[in-house]
Amino acid sequence: MTAPAELDIVTRFGTFTVDPADVVTFAHGLPGFERCRRFVLVSAPSLDPFTCLHGIDASEPSFLTLDPRRVVPDYDTPLGDGDRHRLGVAADDALLWLAVVHVDDHDAARVNLKAPVVINPRKMVGLQVMAADTAYATDHLLDGA
């Protein structure tokens, strides 16, 4: 059996070649993009410290993302039992946490720390969580990454 061919991903941040094994499945998509269930996380030196979470289904949404600990070094959002189950988290799994970055009407970069994207790299599944009791904002001003 031959290995699946690499995927060429064209984003607003450049063109990237990714391995099909790097596809992350979001069982319910992301809020507002529920029809897109498969995403890849791409990075490049020109994007550092950011990454691009790019959909490969439907409308191919593309999000600039950042490790939230680059914004708040002691960032911590609890992951409920239901979310841990949806991610298939084992006790020793290291999870990848990403905050979505957007540019507002005044060209200021803002990061959503309240609803991070969480990926279990062992299972290649992810979801976006929304912590009910958190002091983090959905539009935290990004003054430097």
Query: What is the pTM for the complete model shown?
Result: 0.89
Distance CA 107, CA 49 (A): 19
Q: How many CA atoms lie within 13 A of 11 on its CB side?
A: 24
Domain 7-141 has CATH 2.30.290.10: yes
Q: What is the pLDDT of residues 81-109, one digit of tens each?
A: 999 999 999 888 999 999 999 988 888 89
Determine the residue type at 120.
N
Strand partners, 120: 125
**pLDDT confidence band for 118 (50 / 70 / 90):** very high
Residue spans of the domains in the chain: they are 7-141
How far separated are the first and last CA of the chain, in Å rounded?
44
Higher-pLDDT residue of 2 and 68 is 68
